[in-house]
């Protein structure tokens, strides 16, 4: 398949990429339901927002440790159905059953809810690494930007289905969205098992069964420090993204003056533009280079984030109506989502391009270690920024982080589609 299909271009790999995208669809399906309703379940028993927030960071903390460990484990797994698939066909259905049980346990007691959340997050977090690594295992390095655009589109569709369709089922029966989502997750696991075959490239030998720490050391000791620079860059751009995201709803309600029912508008608008641009951005990056496209995106994100407080202040001083200020802000968020997806789609393929077949999983794990470190650190930092300088400060902070990432990416010299994987 490899030689002839490579000549045909990415179109030869499009069907299998969409099938792999079913795994990302499940993640997009679960995340918004979890983020929306679990805090409400917790508030039945816990009055402190700080404690609720602490429970909600559990998945981020687990991702720091579990994803690299499970990813390395899957790197050195050899079975008849592949090295990632055993983890997927076991952990994904178990995650579905546990997800279905969350609202049931929430109705029983706080201890039952905390217990099911902890067990669920272990399985959901553990399966993420093998699901993500399945794509670079299957798709040649030349086409991973395009493929990552497809699977991010699938994840975005899952998010839209979860927020716009399944949430409405709560009005029919509490917990029904979790049950329907669980059924979709089991169906996705079956699709992956039945129709996706993992590709073993020619010359890929057995790995040396390195420990996690040795695998990490190998990743950082190879090449020209491009791995370390990309990881440091993504830490800063996720500091910006994860620092701004939690406060967009509060900004709309408290600074722009919209009703609480419209607090999710900003993320929704950015999500729609991301889905629309996810696939095209992979093709654009293939033509102009991944590093150049990421740097262009980071520069534009810096400008957009700095424009938000600037245009907000100008609109307020010139007497814009509340709807006018909201429209201006949402237009910038639409642009933000369209540009942000260019960073997301192309950063993973750059890391994968520097990996070998036998350590693809550890590069996937390192991505999540650095991104989730930022996800844990950023919200308290930007919360403090708001306390000190008001809401405009978080957008200035975000712009500064994007600019730092832009500078660091300028020194990256590997990871392009034309570079041969090790």
pLDDT tens track for 190-236: 999 998 888 765 555 554 455 666 666 666 666 568 899 999 999 99
Contacts 24+ apart (CB under 8 A), 324-332: 325/256, 325/257, 326/252, 326/256, 326/258, 326/265, 329/252, 329/256, 329/266, 330/265, 330/266, 330/269, 332/304, 332/307, 332/308
Structural domain includes residue 145: yes
- Residue showing tokens 């907000």: 312
Sequence-distant (≥ 6) Cβ neighbours of residue 255 within 8 angstroms: 312, 391
pLDDT band with cut points at 50, 70 and 90 for residue 2 = very low
The Cα–Cα gap between 306 and 285 comes to 25
Rg (the chain; Cα; Å)? 21
Decide if 292 contacts 410 (C-beta within 8 A). Answer: no
Quick one: average pLDDT of 172-180?
89
Residue where a domain terminates, one of 199, 229, 249: 199
CA 114, chain centre distance (Å)? 24
In terms of domains, do 223 and 192 share one? no
- Over residues 139-158, the pLDDT tens digits come to 888 889 899 999 989 988 88
Domain encompassing residue 367: 211-415
Quick one: average pLDDT of 82-93?
92
The Cα–Cα gap between 328 and 325 comes to 5
Structural domain includes residue 422: no
Domain total in the chain: 2
pLDDT band with cut points at 50, 70 and 90 for residue 1 = very low
Residue where a domain terminates, one of 164, 199, 234: 199
Structural domain includes residue 204: no
The Cα–Cα gap between 143 and 136 comes to 9
Decide if 68 contacts 369 (C-beta within 8 A). Answer: yes
Structural domain includes residue 155: yes
In terms of domains, do 130 and 20 share one? yes
- In 3D, which of 159, 347, 165, 161 has the Cα closest to residue 271? 159
In terms of domains, do 138 and 220 share one? no
Structural domain includes residue 420: no
In terms of domains, do 174 and 247 share one? no
In terms of domains, do 350 and 222 share one? yes
- Over residues 355-404, the pLDDT tens digits come to 877 777 788 888 988 998 998 888 888 888 888 988 899 999 999 999 99
Structural domain includes residue 170: yes
Domain containing residue 176: CATH number:
1.20.1250.20
Please give the torsion angle defined by the CA atoms of residues 89, 343, 68 and 156, in that order, rounded to the nearest 10 degrees: -30
In terms of domains, do 406 and 270 share one? yes
- The tokens for 182 are 């669980």
Decide if 194 contacts 81 (C-beta within 8 A). Answer: no
In terms of domains, do 37 and 144 share one? yes
At residue 28, does pLDDT exceed 80? Answer: yes
Q: Which of 1-5, 169-173, 223-227, 245-249 has the lowest mean pLDDT?
A: 1-5
DSSP state for residue 378 in the 8-state scheme: H
The Cα–Cα gap between 289 and 120 comes to 39
Structural domain includes residue 421: no
Residue where a domain terminates, one of 199, 230, 254: 199
Structural domain includes residue 205: no
**How far does the chain reach from its first CA to its final CA, in angstroms?**
20
Beta strands in 88-223 (DSSP E): none
At residue 417, does pLDDT exceed 60? Answer: yes
Quick one: average pLDDT of 89-100?
95
Q: Which of 76-90, 102-116, 254-268, 284-298 has the lowest mean pLDDT?
A: 254-268
- Cα three-residue angle 365-370-371, rounded to 5 degrees: 95
In terms of domains, do 263 and 321 share one? yes
In terms of domains, do 81 and 57 share one? yes
Average pLDDT taken over every residue of the chain: 85
The Cα–Cα gap between 285 and 100 comes to 39
| pLDDT, position 260 | 64
Decide if 140 contacts 6 (C-beta within 8 A). Answer: yes
Please give the torsion angle defined by the CA atoms of residues 381, 55, 181 and 197, in that order, rounded to the nearest 10 degrees: 70
- The Cα-based distances of 193 to 28, 139, 260 in angstroms read 19, 17, 42
- In 3D, which of 136, 121, 135, 153 has the Cα closest to residue 30? 121
In terms of domains, do 175 and 226 share one? no
| Length of the chain, in residues | 422
In terms of domains, do 228 and 143 share one? no
In terms of domains, do 217 and 185 share one? no
């Amino acid at each position: 398949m490899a030689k002839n299909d490579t000549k045909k271009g990415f179109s030869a790999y499009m069907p299998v990429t969409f099938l792999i995208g079913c795994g990302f669809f499940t993640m997009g399906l679960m995340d918004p339901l979890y983020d929306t309703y679990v805090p409400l379940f917790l508030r039945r028993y816990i009055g402190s927002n700080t404690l609720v927030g602490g429970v909600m960071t559990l998945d981020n903390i687990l991702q720091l440790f579990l994803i690299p460990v499970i990813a390395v484990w899957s790197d050195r797994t050899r079975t008849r159905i592949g090295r990632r698939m055993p983890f997927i066909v076991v952990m994904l259905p178990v995650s579905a059953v546990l997800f279905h049980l969350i609202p049931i346990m929430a109705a029983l007691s706080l201890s039952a809810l905390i217990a099911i959340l902890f067990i669920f997050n272990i399985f959901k977090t553990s399966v993420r690494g093998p699901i993500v690594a399945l794509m670079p295992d299957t798709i040649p390095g030349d086409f991973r930007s395009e493929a990552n655009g497809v699977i991010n589109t699938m994840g975005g569709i899952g998010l839209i289905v979860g927020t716009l369709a399944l949430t409405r089922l709560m009005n029919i029966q509490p917990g029904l969205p979790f049950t329907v989502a669980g059924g979709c997750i089991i169906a996705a696991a079956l699709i992956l098992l039945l129709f996706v075959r993992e590709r073993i490239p020619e010359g890929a030998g057995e790995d040396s069964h390195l420990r996690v720490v040795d695998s990490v050391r190998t990743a950082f000791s190879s090449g020209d420090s491009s791995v370390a620079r990309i990881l440091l860059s993504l830490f800063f751009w996720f500091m910006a993204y994860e620092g701004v995201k939690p406060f967009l709803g509060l900004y709309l309600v408290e600074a722009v003056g919209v009703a609480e029912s419209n607090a999710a508008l900003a993320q929704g608008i950015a999500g729609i533009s991301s889905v629309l641009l996810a696939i095209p951005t992979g093709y654009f990056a293939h033509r102009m280079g991944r590093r150049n496209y990421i740097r262009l995106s980071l520069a534009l994100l810096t400008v957009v984030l700095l424009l938000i407080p600037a245009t907000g202040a100008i609109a307020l001083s010139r007497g814009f109506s509340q709807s006018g200020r909201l429209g201006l802000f949402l237009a910038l968020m639409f642009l933000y989502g369209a540009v942000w997806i260019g960073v997301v789609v192309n950063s993973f393929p750059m890391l994968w391009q520097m990996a070998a077949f036998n350590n693809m999983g550890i590069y996937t794990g390192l991505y999540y270690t650095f991104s989730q470190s930022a996800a844990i650190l950023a919200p308290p930092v930007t919360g403090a920024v708001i306390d000190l300088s008001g809401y405009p400060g978080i957008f200035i902070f975000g712009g500064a982080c994007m600019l730092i990432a832009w500078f660091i990416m300028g020194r990256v010299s590997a990871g392009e589609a034309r570079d041969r994987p090790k």
